[in-house]
Homo-oligomer: A and B are copies of this chain.
Amino acid sequence: MEHIRAINDLVVRFANVNGTGSASANNMFAKAIFRMGIPVSPKNIFPSNIQGLPTWYEVRISEKGYLGRREGVDLMVCVNPQSMARDVESVKPGGYFVYDNTKKLHSEFIREDIHYIGIPMTAITMKHYSDPRQRQLFKNVIYVGALSALLDIEMDVLKGLIEGQFQRKQKLIAPNFKALELGESYVKEHFQYPLDIRLERRDNVGDQILIDGNTAVALGAVYGGATVAAWYPITPSTSIVGAFEKYANRLRKDPETGKSRYAIVQAEDELAAMGMVIGATWNGARAFTTTSGPGVSLMSEFLGLAYFAEIPAVLVNVQRGGPSTGMPTRTQQPDLISSAYASHGDTRHVLLFPSTPKECFDFTAQAFDLADRLQTPIILMSDLDLGMNDHVSPPFEWDDGRQYDLGKVLSAEDLENIEQFGRYLDVDGDGIPYRTIPGTHPTKGSFFTRGTSKDEYARYTENGAAYVRNVDRLLKKWETAKKHVPAPELYQQENSNDYGLIFFGTTTYAALEAMEVLGEKGIKLDALRLRAFPFNETVREFIADHKQVFVVEQNRDAQLRSILINELDLYPRQLIPILNYDGQPITADTIEQLILSHYPQEKKHDDIHQTQVPAS
């Protein structure tokens, strides 16, 4: 039988039942490898359910730092009989299948081309623990212990993690250690170890951190000065405000009174959440809300109000599989059009596309500056993969001299010195007017905010010319926005190929890997990573510089490609969609295959709409 041999380059998958407490054990596994200096990329694949259904945890370990998803499992840990058939199948030939052999494995699960490692997890827990809940929980720790021997994970690192976790519950440390050791020693007694696929300490993560995007967003909001968070729970965005609360509670209490320097409102729905944000920002606070696709649809009337009345707002859209309720626990990037053009009438919104936790942190903090500067909603486009999975990320940084950019807000003193305040006057020629915060001045600067058409002095008007002046100024403001939003990242000093690659957000991980792999095959691509909408000149030039540009995204309708064509007046056939939308993060392999099918000339199909995505 084939033997896979690999050091620090493998995919380990855990098959569990949700609600059985496997998450913390699995996290410990990934974190330990990370602490051994080896880049890891864990992914939760979980059902929309609380208890009793299959759930998977997949860890890609890659010394080279390839952190996108990869098909093909090298080692499967299966403790869920429900999913066993599928799980056996997903192991690569020559791979390993670790299972609970307290009961004998049914013959239908036996494949000739993979290795089986039976560990009597249930039997061990039955013997060593009496409380059924402890049995359940420690089963998970036992398999981690077993893996430490099988894969050569440093036991000290694992124990260090446990000590860290149970710092304030010391009495839980010993039983956890014991469980680890039970697993380890079972392996050592019964198998040759380590396996041919295994780990070795490296120094490949540097000072990086392992963190999920939602926590990063929450920290960005704390650092960016958000004081009001209004939200309604929805997967996969829910954990953001939880984390915001946790850190604000720790870092934002008034030291004297113990009172909060923030307010969190769990709204009655997404419409109300967005309304609260608008009310708070209108009143001069920094406020944000978090949601996913369905929430954006519900917020769409309010987004139009904020656009037209020019009220700052920060919205975090952690995208999930759509349309409608869709695939609530799967990842996609399917809300680009609905977010960019949310609401009726001529509207358009600024989008930010973070691709790492570091950018989640940075862009969230920046979003508040942008919202105040541009007086318009800023939508941070995260997704389930980025938001809910841990990612290796550069550490977060903050310049203590940094000042919040509150934009064009007039103080009482300013008002004294102004002849006539016009809320919607384009004083500076950049399309951005000045605003005042309620309560500023006893007799000057008050105005009426409304979603109806108005003149430069915020007075209601049905006059067509005044309306046109106002909406044309909004276009000018849109031009100004291009200068303020994060610029795209280029991956070459100079463009030097006919073919270009555009990606953004979580397509980045797989796209960079695909580029390297293709490069090794002699296919060189220039690349650009989008970080915001509206697009600036660099994007236009990058596309103009290439015969064909591949646009990688995770939705069916090639929405980013549409927006690029629309906004930059591009020739559509120049942009080739590279799509994956089955709810799993896109893989380098998918990108590579799709690019190859179009390279060097558009071979088979002329109609690029017919591009087929291989089932992945």
| Chain A residues proximal to chain B, CB less than 8 Å | 47-48, 293-294, 296-298, 300-301, 304-305, 307-309, 321-330, 332, 334-335, 337-339, 341-348, 450-453, 462, 464-465, 467-468, 471-472, 475, 555-557, 559, 562, 565-566, 569-573, 581-584, 607-609, 613, 615-616
In contact, A344 and B304 (Cβ under 8 angstroms): no
* B residues in contact with A467, CB < 8 Å: 321, 327, 330, 581-583
Does A569 contact B326, Cβ atoms closer than 8 Å?
A: no
Residues in B neighbouring A555, C-beta threshold 8 A: 345-346
19 chain-A/chain-B pairs, Cβ below 8 angstroms? A294-B304, A298-B300, A304-B322, A304-B323, A305-B325, A307-B323, A322-B343, A322-B345, A323-B345, A323-B451, A326-B451, A327-B453, A338-B342, A338-B347, A346-B555, A462-B583, A467-B583, A565-B572, A569-B608
Question: Given the complex, which residues of B lie within 8 Å of A462, measured CB to CB?
Answer: 47-48, 327, 329-330, 583
What's the minimum C-beta distance from A130 to chain B, rounded to whole angstroms? 36
CB distance from A454 to the nearest CB of B (A): 10
| B contact residues around A304 at 8 Å (CB) | 294, 297, 322-324
Minimum Cβ distance to chain B for residue A598 (Å):
15
CB of A390 to closest CB in B, whole Å: 21
* Shortest Cβ distance from residue A82 to the other chain B in the assembled complex, whole angstroms: 13
Q: Cβ of B338 and Cβ of A452 under 8 Å apart?
A: no
Known: A467-B321, A572-B571, A615-B465. A326 touches B297 (CB 8 A): no
A347 lies within 8 A of B322 (CB): yes
Q: 5 smallest A-B Cβ distances: which pairs?
A: A322-B345, A323-B345, A464-B582, A324-B451, A293-B344
A344 B322 Cβ-Cβ under 8 A = yes
Asked if residues B337 and A341 are in contact (CB atoms below 8 Å), the reply is yes
| Inter-chain contacts of A464 with B (CB < 8 A) | 330, 582-584, 615-616
* A343/B327 in contact, CB under 8 A: no
User: Chain B residues near A468 (CB, 8 Å)?
Assistant: 581-582, 613, 615
Determine the residue in chain B with the shortest Cβ distance to A323: B345
B300 touches A324 (CB 8 A): no
Contact at B584–A344, with CB atoms within 8 Å? no
Q: Considering the chains assembled together, what is the distance between the CA atoms of A155 and B441 in angstroms?
A: 63
Q: How many identical subunits does the complex contain? A: 2
A185 to chain B, nearest CB (A): 37
Q: Please determine whether B572 and A570 come into contact, CB atoms closer than 8 angstroms.
A: yes
What residues on B are CB-neighbors of A300 within 8 Å?
Answer: 297-298, 300, 338
B451 touches A581 (CB 8 A): no
Q: Which of chain B's residues has its CB closest to A345's CB?
A: B322
User: Complex: how many Å from CA A297 to CA B298?
Assistant: 8
Give the distance to chain B from A537, nearest Cβ to Cβ, in Å. Answer: 13
Residue in B328, B334, B608 whose beta carbon sits within 8 Å of that of A452 in the complex: B328
- What residues on B are CB-neighbors of A465 within 8 Å? 582, 615
For the complex, give the distance between the alpha carbons of A326 and B343 in Å.
Answer: 12
Contacts of A471 on B, CB cut-off 8 Å?
556, 581
Contact A452 B327, beta carbon cutoff 8 Å: yes
Quick check: B325 and A347 within 8 Å, CB to CB? no
Among A294, A323, A341, A584, which residue has the most Cβ atoms of chain B within 10 A?
A323
| Residues of the B chain whose Cβ atoms lie less than 8 Å from the Cβ of A566 | 562, 565-566, 572
* Partner among B309, B338, B608, B613 whose Cβ is within 8 Å of the Cβ of A345: B338
A36 vs B524: C-alpha distance when bound (angstroms): 75
User: Which B residues are in CB contact (< 8 Å) with A327?
Assistant: 452-453, 462, 467
Given A344-B293, A346-B581, residue A325 in contact with residue B48 (CB < 8 A):
no
User: Nearest B residue to A329 by beta-carbon distance?
Assistant: B462
Is A338 a contact partner of B341 (Cβ separation < 8 A)? Answer: yes
Question: Which B residue sits closest to A612, measured CB to CB?
Answer: B472
Query: How far does the alpha carbon of A115 sit from the alpha carbon of B47 in the complex, in Å?
Result: 79
Contacts of A338 in B (CB 8 A): 300, 341-345, 347
**Contacting residues, chain B, for A472 (C-beta < 8 A):** 556
- A48 near B452 (CB under 8 angstroms)? yes
Q: Which residues of B contact A615 (CB under 8 A)?
A: 464-465, 468
Interface pair B330/A297, CB less than 8 Å apart: no
Specify which chain B residues have a CB less than 8 angstroms from the CB of A347 in the assembled complex: 322-323, 338
CA distance A538 to B337 in the complex (A): 27
User: Which single residue of chain B is at the shortest CB-CB distance from A301?
Assistant: B297
A55 to B557: give the CA distance in the assembly, Å.
46
Give the residues in chain B near A582, CB-CB below 8 Å.
Answer: 464-465, 467-468
Kindly name the residue among A297, A566, A571 whose own CB sees the greatest number of chain B CB atoms within 10 A: A297
Q: Is the CB of B452 within 8 A of A326?
A: yes
